């Protein structure tokens, strides 16, 4: 049995707790205790002496300790360990020339670590914390595999790797100038016109990088990676901040790289995006922040379905207690007789050269209205009008009795997470029901003592969602809650929204680009059409089938249903199914015959 002990130094506070983990550790092997205070002022667990009794885990008041028993054969698969009692990654994914390998797994499970190693930015230590190994020694570890050839070429300077990082918000700090200048500089003598057209960057060429939005920065980063060229391309979460149309175009641009014989790695949480771009799938499972194990390769369909099922057949391991399930049919709308509806009047809102027209509409008690449309079409503006944050062009402002609003981009503030949630939830915060139904599913029980200024993007997003859903309100408005969340966290959010609507009879509005989250949660759709940045038109809520057909027909995109899991899968443009479904007028919900 391989024993893994991890102490989360972000949560460990030895000066506050008096180190009960050390005080209660049972003496073993000649009365030598398995936990001692290290020179860094934090406890250190000796994994060879630890007997896995779990006392220290139970005694730690900050839930900073995790002890896990793994199969002993995994010991030889250890790729990288960040330090004593720190996260470790077992095994690596690989890609053959001329293929796209998709990486699928939870946040904090090692995907970015694996990509950093494959990009040559992080040298794997194979568990040797002191001195480490050179690339040639690392290559020998993978003797007889594609990974050995990959690392040998990398160490010899014979492999050019292009890496598109996960965090694109830092780009304006490192890159200055106009978009055209940046792309021309990266491309060298190569023309940029084709890539610019593919990623719809034409109207941004003369704009300063510092003035770009999140979606524009993402497309710039993808374009720069493609134009830089290489033998291997690595894209870490390329779909973030992109709308549905932009995701399909970005996936198509990335997919085109295989024609050059390149290896391509893509890690993403949008299953439709991975489904469109990938040839094979590697699954990452384990315990976030503790350890990650790479399983695969799987064929595309088998890999995604395996992840949804939560069972890895190659290792005979169940890594999730529940299956993520889809419905092949549009859900029924709530019965209007169940309670009153809320209404909004026809509105217009103008910002400079942009004008939004909102048609008169209504929402039923107990339903989740999904809001879809391209970036820059006015979805967030509509949410702000509903929230009463903005008034329309006539100066009128909507006022409902009570509402809760989660903005598109939550701002960190100097406040402890527990204090923020306690203020939002009131007396419910201290109940076991609140902990079991909200805190634990969103993984916030281990963040309660953290300052919101110190949270990552995904952690801040989860806190903002919990804060919004904790409030007693008539209407809940959530603007793009899936940003920075992994597949399982998105599924948790969908279940929370459906339960809140059902049990409290709330009216919920959900702005989202991840069609699978909309598919999970929504009962009706509100479609925004028009010309991004110039004019937007918000149609009244309609049935899911009608709404998706209206929305996707304008984009020219069709989805089919996977025969095994019923998950939506993007059809390749002009494929046989794409043509058939367009003739049928069925772009998303293909009803079974």
Residues near 7 by beta carbon (within 8 Å), at least 6 away in sequence = 42, 43, 44, 45, 64, 65, 85, 86
Q: Do both 18 and 94 map to the same domain?
A: no
E strand or H helix that includes residue 137: helix 135-141
3-class DSSP string for 347-412: EEEEECCEEEEECCEEECCCCEEEEECCCCCCHHHHHHHHHCCCCCCCCCCCCCCCEEEECCCCCC
* DSSP helix/strand/coil, 199: coil
Total residues belonging to the chain: 593
Residues near 154 by beta carbon (within 8 Å), at least 6 away in sequence = 120, 135, 161
Domain boundary (70, 94, 128) is at 70
The predicted pLDDT at position 593 comes to 35
Domain boundary (70, 101, 119) is at 70
64 is a domain residue: yes
Tokens of 153: 């070429």
The half-sphere exposure of 170 on its side-chain side, counting CA atoms within 13 A, is 6
Task: Give the Cα separation of 362 and 520 in Å (integer).
Answer: 21
* DSSP helix/strand/coil, 88: strand
pLDDT per position as a tens digit, 331-388? 666 665 567 888 999 999 999 889 999 999 999 999 999 999 999 899 999 999 998 8
Q: Do both 87 and 64 map to the same domain?
A: no
Q: Do both 10 and 43 map to the same domain?
A: yes
Pairing of strands 347-351, 354-358: antiparallel
E strand or H helix that includes residue 178: none
Q: Do both 285 and 156 map to the same domain?
A: yes
Task: Give the Cα separation of 39 and 332 in Å (integer).
Answer: 61
280 is a domain residue: yes
Q: Do both 361 and 310 map to the same domain?
A: no
* DSSP helix/strand/coil, 321: coil
455 is a domain residue: yes
Task: Give the residue among 109, 108, 106 at the shortest CA–CA distance from 90.
Answer: 109
Neighbour tally for 534: CB within 10 Å: 11
CATH number, domain with residue 18: 3.30.70.20
545 is a domain residue: no
Tokens of 119: 């990009």
The predicted pLDDT at position 331 comes to 67
DSSP state of 208: B
Question: Range of 39's domain?
Answer: 2-70
408 is a domain residue: yes
Q: Are 11 and 446 in contact (CB under 8 A)?
A: yes
Per-residue pLDDT 10s for the chain (593 aa) are 788 999 988 888 898 888 999 989 887 666 678 999 988 889 999 988 898 888 999 999 888 999 998 887 788 899 999 989 999 999 999 999 999 999 999 999 999 999 999 999 999 999 888 877 788 888 888 888 889 989 988 888 899 999 998 888 889 988 999 999 999 999 998 999 999 999 999 999 999 999 998 899 999 999 999 999 999 999 999 999 899 999 999 999 999 999 878 999 999 999 989 989 999 999 999 999 999 999 989 999 999 999 999 999 988 899 998 898 887 776 666 665 567 888 999 999 999 889 999 999 999 999 999 999 999 899 999 999 998 889 999 999 888 878 999 988 888 899 999 999 999 999 999 999 999 989 999 999 888 988 999 888 889 999 999 999 999 999 999 999 998 899 999 999 999 999 999 888 999 999 999 988 998 899 999 999 999 989 999 999 999 999 999 999 998 999 988 888 888 888 888 899 999 999 999 998 765 43
pLDDT per position as a tens digit, 99-154? 999 999 999 999 999 999 999 999 999 988 887 778 888 888 888 888 998 998 88
Q: Are 134 and 333 in contact (CB under 8 A)?
A: no
* DSSP helix/strand/coil, 231: coil
CATH number, domain with residue 482: 3.40.50.300
Q: Do both 85 and 24 map to the same domain?
A: no
Task: Give the Cα separation of 37 and 381 in Å (integer).
Answer: 54
Q: Do both 169 and 305 map to the same domain?
A: yes
579 is a domain residue: no
Pairing of strands 88-90, 291-299: parallel
Maximal CA-CA distance, the chain: 81
**536 beta partners:** 356, 530
Q: Do both 490 and 414 map to the same domain?
A: yes
Task: Give the residue among 71, 74, 78, 76 at the shortest CA–CA distance from 127.
Answer: 78
Q: Do both 205 and 298 map to the same domain?
A: yes
Task: Give the Cα separation of 270 and 272 in Å (integer).
Answer: 5
Q: Do both 183 and 266 map to the same domain?
A: yes
What's the total number of domains in the chain?
A: 3
Q: Do both 108 and 163 map to the same domain?
A: yes
- The vertex-74 CA angle with 70 and 80, nearest 5°, equals 105
Pairing of strands 263-267, 99-105: parallel
Task: Give the Cα separation of 577 and 573 in Å (integer).
Answer: 9
161 is a domain residue: yes
Domain boundary (70, 88, 114) is at 70
Alpha carbon of residue 225 to chain centroid: 21
569 is a domain residue: no
Task: Give the residue among 155, 115, 118 at the shortest CA–CA distance from 134.
Answer: 155
Pairing of strands 88-90, 78-81: antiparallel
Tokens of 507: 């009216």
The half-sphere exposure of 474 on its side-chain side, counting CA atoms within 13 A, is 12
Q: Do both 64 and 111 map to the same domain?
A: no
The predicted pLDDT at position 335 comes to 61
Q: Are 371 and 541 in contact (CB under 8 A)?
A: no
pTM: 0.89
Task: Give the residue among 476, 559, 562 at the shortest CA–CA distance from 521.
Answer: 476
Q: Is 419 left (phi over 0), alpha (psi -120 to 50) or beta?
A: alpha
**99 beta partners:** 263
Backbone angles phi, psi at 477, to 5 degrees: -120, 115
Task: Give the Cα separation of 576 and 580 in Å (integer).
Answer: 6
Tokens 């989740």 label which residue?
A: 368
């Amino acid at each position: 049995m391989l024993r893994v002990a991890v102490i989360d130094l972000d949560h460990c506070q030895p000066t506050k707790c008096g180190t009960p983990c050390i005080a209660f550790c049972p003496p073993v092997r000649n009365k030598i205790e398995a936990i001692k205070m290290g020179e860094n002022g934090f406890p250190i667990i000796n994994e060879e002496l630890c007997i896995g009794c779990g006392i220290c885990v139970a005694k730690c008041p900050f839930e900073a300790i995790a002890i896990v028993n793994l199969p002993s054969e995994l010991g030889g698969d250890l790729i990288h360990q960040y330090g004593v009692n720190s996260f470790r990654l077992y095994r690596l994914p690989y890609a053959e020339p001329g293929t796209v390998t998709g990486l699928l797994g939870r946040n904090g499970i090692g995907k970015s670590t694996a990509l950093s190693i494959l990009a040559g930015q992080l040298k794997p230590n194979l568990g040797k914390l002191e001195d480490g190994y050179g690339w040639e020694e690392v290559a020998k570890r993978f003797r007889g595999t594609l990974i050995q050839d990959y690392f040998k070429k990398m160490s010899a300077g014979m492999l050019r790797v292009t890496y598109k990082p996960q965090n694109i918000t830092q780009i304006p700090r490192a890159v200055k100038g106009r978009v055209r200048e940046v792309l021309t500089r990266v491309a060298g003598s190569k023309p940029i016109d084709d890539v610019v057209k593919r990623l719809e960057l034409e109207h941004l060429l003369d704009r300063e990088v510092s003035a770009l939005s999140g979606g524009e920065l993402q497309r710039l980063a993808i374009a720069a990676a493609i134009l830089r060229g290489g033998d291997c391309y690595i894209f870490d979460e390329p779909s973030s901040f992109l709308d549905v149309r932009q995701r399909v175009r970005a996936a198509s641009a990335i997919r085109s790289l295989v024609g050059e014989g390149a290896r391509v790695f893509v890690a993403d949480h949008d299953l439709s995006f991975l489904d469109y771009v990938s040839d094979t799938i590697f699954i990452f499972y384990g315990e976030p922040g503790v350890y990650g194990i790479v399983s695969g390769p799987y064929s595309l369909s088998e890999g995604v379905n395996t992840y949804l099922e939560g069972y890895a057949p190659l290792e005979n391991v169940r890594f999730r207690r529940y299956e993520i399930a889809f419905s092949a049919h549009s859900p029924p709308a709530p019965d209007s007789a169940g309670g009153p509806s809320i209404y909004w009047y026809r509105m217009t809102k103008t910002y400079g050269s942009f004008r939004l027209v909102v048609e008169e509409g209504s929402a039923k008690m107990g339903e989740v209205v999904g809001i879809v449309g391209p970036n820059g079409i006015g979805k967030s503006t509509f949410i702000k009008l509903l929230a009463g944050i903005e008034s329309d062009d006539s100066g009128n402002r909507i006022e409902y009795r009570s509402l809760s609003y989660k903005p598109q981009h939550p701002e960190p503030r100097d406040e402890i997470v527990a204090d923020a949630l306690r203020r939002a939830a009131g007396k419910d915060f201290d109940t076991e029901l609140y902990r079991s139904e909200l805190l634990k599913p969103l993984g916030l029980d281990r963040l309660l003592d953290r300052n919101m200024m110190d949270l990552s993007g995904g952690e801040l997003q989860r806190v903002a969602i919990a804060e919004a859903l904790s409030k007693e309100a008539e209407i809940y408005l959530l603007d793009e809650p899936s940003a920075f969340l992994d597949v399982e966290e998105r599924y948790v959010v969908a279940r929370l929204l459906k339960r809140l609507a059902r049990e409290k009879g709330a009216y919920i509005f959900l702005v989202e680009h991840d069609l699978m989250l909309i598919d999970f949660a929504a009962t009706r759709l509100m479609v925004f059409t028009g010309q991004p940045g110039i004019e937007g038109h918000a149609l009244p809520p309609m049935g899911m089938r009608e709404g998706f057909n209206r929305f996707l027909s304008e984009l020219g995109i069709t989805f089919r249903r996977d025969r095994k899991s019923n998950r939506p899968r993007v059809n390749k443009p002009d494929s046989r199914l794409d043509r058939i479904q367009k003739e049928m007028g069925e772009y998303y919900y293909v009803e079974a015959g």
